[in-house]
Amino acid sequence: MASNKDGDPSLGYLTRKDTEVKLPRPTRVKNKTPAPIQITAEQILREARERQEADIRPPKQKITDSTELGDYRLRKRKEFEDLIRRVRWNISVWIKYAQWEESQKDFNRARSVWERALEVDYRNHTLWLKYAEVEMKNKFINHARNVWDRAVTLLPRVDQLWYKYIHMEEMLGNIAGARQIFERWMGWMPDQQGWLSYIKFELRYNEVERARGIFERFVQCHPKVSAWIRFAKFEMKNGEVARARNVYEKAVQKLADDEEAEMLFVAFAEFEERCKETERARCIYKFALDHIPKGRAEDLYRKFVAFEKQYGDKEGIEDAIVGKRRFQYEDEVRKNPLNYDAWFDYIRLEESVTNKVRIREVYERAIANVPPAQEKRYWQRYIYLWINYALYEELDAEDIERTREVYRECLNLIPHEKFSFAKIWLLAAQFEIRQLNLNGARQVLGNAIGKAPKDKIFKKYIEIELQLGNIDRCRKLYEKYLEWSPENCYAWSKYAELERSLSETERARSIFELAIAQPALDMPELLWKAYIDFEISEGEYDRTRELFERLLDRTKHLKVWISCAKFEASAMEEQNLCIQNARRVFEKALNYFRMSAPELKEERAMLLDEWLDMEKSFGQLGDVSLVEPKLPKKLKKRKQIASEDGLAGYEEYIDYVFPEEAHAHNLKILEKAREWKRQRLASGADD
């Protein structure tokens, strides 16, 4: 037990206390005020650097005689050769070897090393550069020329070799040699910088004619806008204005369709501007704006507007501003060709300028953007492009044949089997009428009725024929109209009205009879009203009564009853008889609402109000006492409002209580009272 207490077998009979790792207790900083002398990180690093021990370097070897020098050279060469044998393709080793041989003034051995290195990788232009620099540094000029000549022959596309070769010859004063090297280089058609270097070389020695010849070859080799502009600026710098203009003109002929043509035109115009040739500059700007695509002419427009503001008159400035707006519209329609509002704005702009060719071009481009889907909602804006085009050709351009062609093309384009536009047909017909071409107008409207009949077309066609006095044509058109739309009450009424205006009463009556016999009508009440008004105007009161009876057989609407009563009251007969007939109609109507439609209390109350007003209007002949006892009482009641969640509250409504209903209600109360009394008497007898 004692041993268990003293030590743990798993711990080698050591106590827990013996095996505890005692960590140093963290010192608490009692004084947190800053020290009087502050030590920076820089001081710590400097002190560490000072205390650092010096590097161990091999001792310097001093060579005292030729034997030691020979041994050193032999050992060093052996090291280089061994290294080259291991890493033959490492060019830096070859360069170090050759430079070491050079440092030993053994140039033949150095050349040998360079030549061996070039055999390994002659495409490495760094080798050639360092080889030639060694020869130049040690003033072996012919050797250097030989190296450069071989280098540019093997690597003619490395510009640095040519530059170094030419620079060496120029430093030696061998101008003819340098020119000859340039000519060799130009035979390889280098990039622009090479040609420009050749030109600068000639200009350094005032060889202007030679430089001009090089420029001509340069623009043939690199036919770019920047090259031609440099050529023109060169001529301008030398005071050759005519030559500079000739250069610009040649450039325009060759590069008018180039992507960078905008830059060329701007430079040409600015050149003319500097020469005080403002008209020439204006012509260049306008030519450029007509030929360059609008998407690439933003800078050109800006420069043109600035030019016009500086040199132009009011008209020129306006023209420049129009050009700028034209550019904006071109950008919009290029992004979204189906944005017809942008096309309308663009056309309005061109019409303000009154350039017929440009206006027609914009119209043709606009109408070429046909809506992709054959749905009327997509065509509603598009069709106005055609309308505006036709109106422009007729009113502004005054080209009748072209206007007719526009209408014809538009009507051929519209898919009439799916939808049509009555407006286009009518405009085309009205145009023909303005040209006194009645047959053409009839043909257009006839085609419209055949392909896409519409109410507007029938109405306008009938109106035209009626104005011309062609009654038979009007009748045929009405027949076609009613054959196409037999439920159209407007057409029936107008047809009957036409016959009535011609005093064809029987024909008008027959038309009305046919109309009311149709199984389906869109507005039958208007048709019946027109028929009744027709009979009243003809003084046929018996026929009118018969019509009212036939109408009441079909419908018992409140308005029909009231109309019938008013007719009877205003019939041109004996007044007492009229009043009796009107009262009879009201009685009949009241009886219907009381017996057959008791739920229509509001209509019944309105009927009684109308009857009361009519009796008052009769004056002394009227009898208000016939109506007043029948008038209902208005009661304000509440009823529950039901919703999906249950009861939502109450709402007030007006209820009408008629006299017979009140009497019946009182009788029910008396009956219940008698029953209650009988029950009381029966219970008393039992007690």
| Total Cβ atoms within 10 A of residue 372 | 8
Sign (positive or negative) of CA dihedral 458, 464, 469, 473: negative
What integer pLDDT is reported at residue 214 of this predicted model? Answer: 93
Q: Which residue type occupies 594?
A: R
Q: Which residue type occupies 404?
A: R
What integer pLDDT is reported at residue 200 of this predicted model? Answer: 94
In whole angstroms, give the CA distance from residue 440 to residue 421: 19
Q: Which residues are CB-contacts of 620 (< 8 A; sequence separation ≥ 6)?
A: none
In whole angstroms, give the CA distance from residue 612 to residue 623: 9
CA 215 to chain centre: 47
Q: Which residues are CB-contacts of 397 (< 8 A; sequence separation ≥ 6)?
A: 356, 360
Buried b (16+ CB within 10 A) or exposed e, 433-446: beeebeebbbebbe
- Hey, what are 423's tokens? 């407006």
Q: Which of 207, 209, 202, 274 is nearest to 245 (CA)?
A: 274
| Total Cβ atoms within 10 A of residue 559 | 12
In whole angstroms, give the CA distance from residue 478 to residue 497: 12
Is 135 in contact with 144 (CB distance < 8 Å)?
yes
What is the helix (H) or strand (E) element at residue 264, kind and residue range?
Answer: helix 261-274
CA 514 to chain centre: 55
The overall longest dimension of the chain from CA atoms, in Å, is: 172
What integer pLDDT is reported at residue 666 of this predicted model? Answer: 53
How far CA 99 is from CA of 112, 130, 144, in Å, comes to 12, 9, 16
In whole angstroms, give the CA distance from residue 409 to residue 431: 15
In whole angstroms, give the CA distance from residue 648 to residue 22: 82
What integer pLDDT is reported at residue 166 of this predicted model? Answer: 94
Q: Which residue type occupies 627?
A: V
Q: Which residue type occupies 484?
A: W
For 660-668, the CB contacts below 8 A with 24+ separation are 660/594, 662/633
Cα dihedral value 29, 33, 34, 35, nearest 10: -70
Q: What is the CA radius of gyration of the chain?
A: 56
In the chain the domains, ranked by start, together with CATH numbers, are: 228-312 (1.25.40)
pTM of the model: 0.51
pLDDT averaged over 10-residue windows placed end to end, the chain, 687 residues: 51 64 71 81 88 77 80 86 86 89 88 89 90 91 92 93 93 92 92 93 92 92 91 90 91 84 87 86 82 72 73 60 70 83 85 81 87 85 89 87 89 85 88 87 86 85 84 85 83 82 83 79 79 77 76 76 75 69 76 74 77 75 72 72 66 71 57 74 69
SS (H, E, C) 102-118: HHCCCHHHHHHHHHHHH
What integer pLDDT is reported at residue 4 of this predicted model? Answer: 46
CA 634 to chain centre: 63
Number of Cα atoms under 13 Å in the Cβ half of residue 506: 0
How far CA 122 is from CA of 100, 136, 168, in Å, comes to 21, 20, 21
470 DSSP assignment = -
Given the DSSP bridges, would you call strands 633-643 and 646-657 parallel, antiparallel or unpaired?
A: antiparallel
As beta bridge partners, residue 14 has 8
- Hey, what are 74's tokens? 């032999």
CA 372 to chain centre: 16
Q: Which of 278, 326, 279 is nearest to 300 (CA)?
A: 326
| Total Cβ atoms within 10 A of residue 144 | 22
Number of Cα atoms under 13 Å in the Cβ half of residue 635: 11
In whole angstroms, give the CA distance from residue 155 to residue 148: 10
* Three-class SS state of 639: strand
Q: Which of 318, 323, 241 is nearest to 288 (CA)?
A: 323
In whole angstroms, give the CA distance from residue 299 to residue 272: 18
As beta bridge partners, residue 654 has 636
598 DSSP assignment = T
First to last CA, the chain: 110
In whole angstroms, give the CA distance from residue 436 to residue 188: 77
∠ CA 502-503-508, rounded to 5°: 90
